[in-house]
Amino acid sequence: MDFIKQEITSGIAWVTIDRQSKLNALNSQVLDELETTFLKLQKNAEAKVVIITGAGPKSFVAGADISQFPSMTPVEAQKLSERGQHVFSVVEDTHKPVIAAVNGFALGGGCELAMACHIRIASDNAQFGQPEVKLGVIAGYGGTQRLPRLVGTGRALDMLLTGRMVNAQEALDIGLVNAIYSQDSLLEEAGKKADELMQQGPQAQAYTLQAVYSGMGKTLKDGLQEEAAAFRDVFDTEDRIEGASAFLERRSADFKNR
Ligand code: COA
């Protein structure tokens, strides 16, 4: 891997996009490496929570690599959009919690990658945006769909139609991120959030993710059916016996992810 660094320590998989000379912009190789990394982490039992961040002090990801745009045909553009969407869906479909630790610019594909993660925290210098309209194009890696779902149509359209940057405080105010920390403490705080997540039932988290995301595009009635099915399936796990026993015996649960 040239552009993705990954290590697992104490259950946390740290994934760093490292293409600093281009502010970690996503070319096709970065997308390929990202997909491979997440597919492997999905199967790796040592990885209980994933934290993704960008290398360097300035940028999480500054977007899709613009240098590929000028020569691209409409057909190639559709393929690129579908490719980016697919890779980010792999991230979103991870059956364990994925935290985006947004450490600077999260523009275009960077904002879209953060939105495909399950939890977003940001450093105080973070800047979010979908600046594609400034280039005469549109968001293509999920931005037109995930942004309205996260912050509401009105706020999303303001960002998508003006391309303006939103600072960390505004991102917090509109629900685009869950919390802001100083640049120096961002990764430490991401680690603390991962520790909190690792104390909970992993099977329960996987079924929660499934119920939330599969219900999102459905009617309330159909979404509630998804929830009941996931509720049923989680009762078929050993972890749910352990969870209730631990509570009744006044001890911490020792979940086995089974
Ligand atoms: N694609 C390709 N290269 C990019 C890039 C992108 N999305 N974003 C930044 N880079 C490159 C720059 O071309 C520059 O490369 P160079 O040194 O070889 O010329 C390098 O990263 C540093 O960027 P620079 O623009 O000099 O940094 P800056 O601090 O002045 O500005 C940004 C930072 C993020 C505001 C600016 O780089 C920017 O607007 N980037 C594009 C953001 C965007 O439109 N993303 C959506 C793409 S669809």
Q: Which domains does the chain have, with CATH numbers?
A: 4-198 (3.90.226.10), 202-248 (1.10.12)
Per-residue pLDDT at 11 exceeds 90: yes
Give tens-digit pLDDT for 175-201: 999 999 999 999 999 999 999 999 999
Q: What is the pLDDT of residues 222-256, one digit of tens each?
A: 999 999 999 999 999 999 999 999 999 999 999 99
User: Which residue stretches of the chain are H helix?
Assistant: 28-43, 74-92, 109-116, 143-151, 153-162, 168-173, 186-198, 202-216, 220-234, 238-248
88-130: pLDDT as tens digits: 999 999 999 999 999 999 999 999 999 999 999 999 999 999 9
pLDDT, the chain, mean? 97
41-61 pLDDT tens trace: 999 999 999 999 999 999 999
Local structure of 108: helix, strand or coil: coil
The model's pTM is 0.97
Q: Give 64 Cα–ligand 1 centroid separation in angstroms.
A: 10
Among residues 92, 112, 188, 189, the one annotated as catalytic is: 112
User: Which residue's CA is the nearest one to ligand 1's atom 2?
Assistant: 65
Q: Say whether 132 is catalytic.
A: yes
